[in-house]
């Protein structure tokens, strides 16, 4: 679940003074880099796209490129139209390479992983989208826009998301306190040692922007936090991403070791019914941010 450090999105200009003869005014290709810092050269129109990530599929449809998407993963279920697109497997247990090749894509958008080099070995163009934060999401929207020659739409979508995020931050900056939040990812294996989300994750970023203090931010990535650590931190709010696994406000309140927590005593336990809003690094992350802000600061978001 570790995320790869990405390079800033760059538009590499053809500069004759630096690289004599390397570029000419008649060349139409544009040179950019993906989130692994690898250069991508696009020439001509991109008509057939395969998406190897649910977040990527959501980005494509948000940019009104759904009619060009010919293949998606088994987990791509949003928007509704994505469900009818040809499925090409998933990262686990694995992608169907033959099916991907058979779709004859002129562009593959993928998360980082071994499949990237495997597909490139067949001469296919693979662009990796692996953002680490909201700024990375904006850049990836613009990256897809440049690769598909949909810059105008990408700029519009990114600007709208920036505005909404800015509105949330402007409101939460007025808060008189930043309540301590415990974000439960999964407690199905051990309710007294649940998985949570630490520093350097999208969830931690969203909690901060929503005006909360993540009690798990002392460590990076996703990890198991002991009940003793949770009791010591005594969160005022508990957010349940694992609602999909059966975690509810009632079930958490019934855990014997949790009953003294402020969040339990005050009844501030909130399930996230659609965890994709806080997990998938697409445009709907802003929906997740707005939902978290309403939970953490209801006085600011009536």
pLDDT of 222 higher than 90: yes
Residue 31 has a pLDDT of 63
Say what the pLDDT of residue 84 is.
97
pLDDT of residue 40: 82
pLDDT of 151 over the 70 cut:
yes
Residue 27 has pLDDT above 50, yes or no: no
Residues 179-208 have pLDDT tens digits of: 999 999 999 999 999 999 999 999 999 999
Q: What per-residue confidence (pLDDT) applies to 235?
A: 98
> What value, to the nearest 5°, has the Cα angle with vertex 121 and ends 117 and 122?
125
Average pLDDT rounded to a whole number, residues 153-161: 98
Mean of all residue pLDDT scores within the chain: 89
Q: What is the structure's pLDDT at 198?
A: 97
Contacts of 17 (CB under 8 A, 6+ apart): none
Does the pLDDT value for residue 6 go beyond 50? Answer: no
Per-residue pLDDT of 82-125, as tens digits, reads: 999 999 999 888 999 999 999 999 999 999 999 999 999 999 99
Give 58-117 as a DSSP string: HHHHHTT-GGGEEEB-TT---SGGGGGSPB-B-SSS-B-HHHHHHT--SEEEE-SSHHHH
- According to DSSP, the β-strands at 39-42 and 30-33 are antiparallel
Distance, CA of 15 to CA of 162 (rounded, Å)? 32
Residues 100 and 85: beta-carbon distance below 8 Å: no
Structural domains of the chain, with CATH: 43-164 (3.40.50.1980), 176-296 (3.40.50.1980)
How many Å apart are CA 32 and CA 174, to the nearest integer? 39
Per-residue pLDDT tens over the stretch 31-84: 689 999 998 877 788 999 999 999 999 999 999 999 999 999 999 999 999 999
Strands 69-71 and 49-52 turn out to be: parallel
Per residue, what are the HEC states of 104-144?
A: CCCEEEECCCHHHHHHHCCCCCEEECCCCCHHHHHHHHHHH
Task: Give pLDDT, residue 43.
Answer: 74
Please give the Cα distance from 216 to 218 (Å, whole number): 5
Closest CA to 59 of 44, 40, 43, 79: 79
The helices-and-strands tally (H runs, E runs) of the chain is 11, 13
Q: Which residues contact 44 (CB under 8 A, 6 or more apart)?
A: 106
- 64 contacts: CB under 8 Å, gap ≥ 6: 150, 153
Phi (first) and psi of residue 118, to 5 degrees: -60, -45
User: Is pLDDT of 24 > 50?
Assistant: no
Give the three-class secondary structure for 31.
strand
Considering only 41-50, 184-193, 275-284, 292-301, which range has the smallest mean pLDDT? 41-50
């Amino acid at each position: 679940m570790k995320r790869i450090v990405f390079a800033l999105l760059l538009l590499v200009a053809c500069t004759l003074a630096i690289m004599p003869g390397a570029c000419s005014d008649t060349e139409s290709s544009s040179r950019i880099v993906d989130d692994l810092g690898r250069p991508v050269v696009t020439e001509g129109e991109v008509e057939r796209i395969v998406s190897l990530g649910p977040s990527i599929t959501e980005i494509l449809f948000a940019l009104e490129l759904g009619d060009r998407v010919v293949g998606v993963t088994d987990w791509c279920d949003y928007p509704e139209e994505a469900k009818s697109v040809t499925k090409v497997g998933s990262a686990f247990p694995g992608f169907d390479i033959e099916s991907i090749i058979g779709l004859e894509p002129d562009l593959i958008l993928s998360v980082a992983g071994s499949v990237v080099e495997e597909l490139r070995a067949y001469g296919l163009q693979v662009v990796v989208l692996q953002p680490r934060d909201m700024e990375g999401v904006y850049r990836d929207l613009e990256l897809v826009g440049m690769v598909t020659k949909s810059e105008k739409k990408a700029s519009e979508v990114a600007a709208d998301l920036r505005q909404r995020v800015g509105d949330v931050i402007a409101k939460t900056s007025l808060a008189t306190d930043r309540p301590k939040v415990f974000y439960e990812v999964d407690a199905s294996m051990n309710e007294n040692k649940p998985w949570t989300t630490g520093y350097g994750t999208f969830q931690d970023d969203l909690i901060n922007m929503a005006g909360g203090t993540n009690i798990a931010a002392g460590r990076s990535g996703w990890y198991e936090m002991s009940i003793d650590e949770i009791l010591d931190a005594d969160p005022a709010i508990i957010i349940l991403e694992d609602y999909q696994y059966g975690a509810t406000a009632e079930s958490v309140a019934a855990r014997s070791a949790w009953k003294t927590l402020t969040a339990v005593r005050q009844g501030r336990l909130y399930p996230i019914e659609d965890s994709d809003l806080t997990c998938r690094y697409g445009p709907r992350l802003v929906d997740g941010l707005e939902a978290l802000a309403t939970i953490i600061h209801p006085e600011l978001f009536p």
